[in-house]
Amino acid sequence: MRSLKKFIQRLNLNNNKMPDPIIRHAGVQDVTFGSNVKVTEPVNLYSCTIGNNCIIGPFTEIQKGVAVGNNCRIQSHSFICELVTIGADCFIGHGVMFINDDWKAGRPAKGNRALWKETIIGNKVSIGSNATILPVKICDNVVIGAGSVVTKDITQVGFYAGNPAKKLRDLNVNK
């Protein structure tokens, strides 16, 4: 009980005086859209570029500097951080998380962009729901299975899954 009282005192919450929070509103700000783009709100899209014929699902965040190619579908609850480029004809499943901070220093970068790394997704890449994509490069014509964690560059066409994601089989891209 003492520790709770001390915690409240440190937060300056005595006498029901609560500090005013900083409120940031979700929305669409400074986005460059191609033609025939469909966005289902609520979303948080800012200072990014979305290509032609794309669909963005609800509860998605796409951060500053991200480029999404033509004919892409980004499902709900996905997070695409700065320094991500997604090629054309890609599918990003529900709840996919892109990470630009690899914690190489043993702690979060805390906004230090010099410690962030880029992710480049090729064309015709499908990423299954709840996958996590660390800073990597993924070549064209790749499928990433649901729940996978991509920790290394993918340079060969194929189907990848697991934690860490490994190639399970080839894909026939001629069909």
Convert the pLDDT of each residue in 6-33 to its tens digit: 666 666 555 566 778 888 777 999 999 9
Supply the DSSP symbol for 116.
Answer: B
Nearest CA to 125 out of 137, 115, 113 is that of 137
Q: What is the pTM of this model?
A: 0.87
With beta carbons less than 8 A apart as the criterion, state whether 165 and 144 touch: yes
- According to DSSP, the β-strands at 55-56 and 38-39 are parallel
Query: pLDDT at residue 173 above 70?
Result: yes
Count of the separate structural domains present in the chain: 1
19 part of a folded domain: no
Q: In this structure, what is the dihedral angle of CA atoms 33, 40, 73, 34, given to the nearest 10 degrees?
A: -10
Q: What is the CATH number of the domain that holds 39?
A: 2.160.10.10
50 part of a folded domain: yes
4 part of a folded domain: no
Tell me how far CA of residue 171 lies from CA of 105, 132, 138, 144, in angstroms.
37, 21, 14, 12
Domain that holds residue 148: 30-169
114 part of a folded domain: yes
39 part of a folded domain: yes
Q: What is the mean pLDDT of residues 72-96?
A: 98
Q: What is the mean pLDDT of residues 104-115?
A: 86
Which residues are paired to 61 by β-bridges? 44, 79
Task: Quote the pLDDT of residue 17.
Answer: 66
Q: How big is the chain by its Cα radius of gyration, in Å?
A: 19
18 part of a folded domain: no
Task: Quote the pLDDT of residue 131.
Answer: 98
Task: Quote the pLDDT of residue 4.
Answer: 65
14 part of a folded domain: no
Q: What is the mean pLDDT of residues 91-95?
A: 98
Q: What is the mean pLDDT of residues 124-151?
A: 98
Query: pLDDT at residue 97 above 90?
Result: yes
Query: pLDDT at residue 136 above 80?
Result: yes
12 part of a folded domain: no
Task: Quote the pLDDT of residue 110.
Answer: 87
Buried b (16+ CB within 10 A) or exposed e, 116-127: beebbbbbbbbb
